[in-house]
Structure 1
Amino acid sequence: MLCLGVACFLSFMVSRNHQLAFNPFDGQPQVKAAVIPPKPRLAVKLPEKPRPADPSPEKLTFYDILGQKGNAAMPEVEQYAIQIAAFQTEDRAQAYADELKAEKRLNCRVDKTETLACVRWGTFTSKAGAEHYLKRIADTVGKDCLVVRM
C-alpha cells in the first residue's frame, strides 16, 4: 500500500513538471521538490518592409483581368499541329478521323476552318516539335502530311 502511495506521489510530481532531488550525503534521505521553469521561447522580430503607398487600386473583376490584352499571366503562344487531310465537309473529315482511329490507332481531331474541315493530329508549342513527329505520322498514315500553325 505504501508503494502505491509513493508511486502516485511521484507520478503527480512528474506530471506537474516538478523535479525530485534526493540527497544521499546526509544521514537521512531528504526529498526536495523544485519547480522546473518552462523553456523560454525565442521571438525574433523582423524589420518591417516599407509598403508603397497605393492611393486607390482599380476595382477589377476576375473576368476584367482575364480579358485584358497583354496580360503577363497569359502570353500568346504559337501552336502547331500535323495536318493529315482536309475535306470540304465536316462529316467526311470526321469519318476519315474515325477510320484512322480504327485502323491505325491514331487519335485525330477535326478542326473547322473558314472553308475546310481539317483532320489534324497533336498540338505542339514549336514548329520543330511538330516536325519531329511529321515523318512518323506520314509513315503511319501512308500519305504526305504537313505542319500547320493553328
Structure 2
Amino acid sequence: MAKESLEQSNEQSFELQKIYHKKVTFDAPNTPAVFLDEWKPAVNVDLNTSANRISDTNYEVVLGVTCKVLATGTDTVLFTAYVEQAGVFEVDGYDEAGVMALMGSFCPAQLYPYARNHISNLASFGGFPQLLLAPVDFDALLEDAMEQAEDELL
C-alpha cells in the first residue's frame, strides 16, 4: 500500500483551468485620415510572458502581445493593439526545469492563438483590414532567453 502511495506522488499532472483576458487596448490616434491612404503597413510585434504561482499547484501565465502598425516609410501610427491573454494552469509533480519549460514555452503557446485572434478582431473592429500574426516558436524564444540570461551571468 505504501508503494502505491509513493508511485502516485511521483505522477505528473498538467491541466488548463481557465483562459481569460487580463487587459485589452486599441488605439488609432490618426483616424480617420489614415483610412484615405493606401494600406501598406509596417507591423511591429512585441511579446512578453510572465508566470506567477497562485497556489501550491496553480500558476497564472500571462502572454502580452503588442502590435504597433505604422504606415510604411513614415512614423504615422495606424493603430496599436495590446492584449494580455492569461490562463490558470494546474501543474503538479514537475521538477523546477519542467515547470520552467511549461511556464516559459508550453503555456504561452496555448495562449497565443487566443491573443492572435483578439488582435485580428481589434484591427477589424477598428476599421482596418484583418491582421494575421505569424505563428511563434515559443521553444526557441525560451531557449534564446535562457542563453541570454546565462551570458549576462558570465
Structure-2-length-normalised TM-score: 0.23
Structure number with greater CO (CA < 8 Å, separation at least 6) is 2
Q: Larger % of helix: which? A: 2
Q: Larger % of strand: which? A: 2
| Structure number with bigger Rg | 1
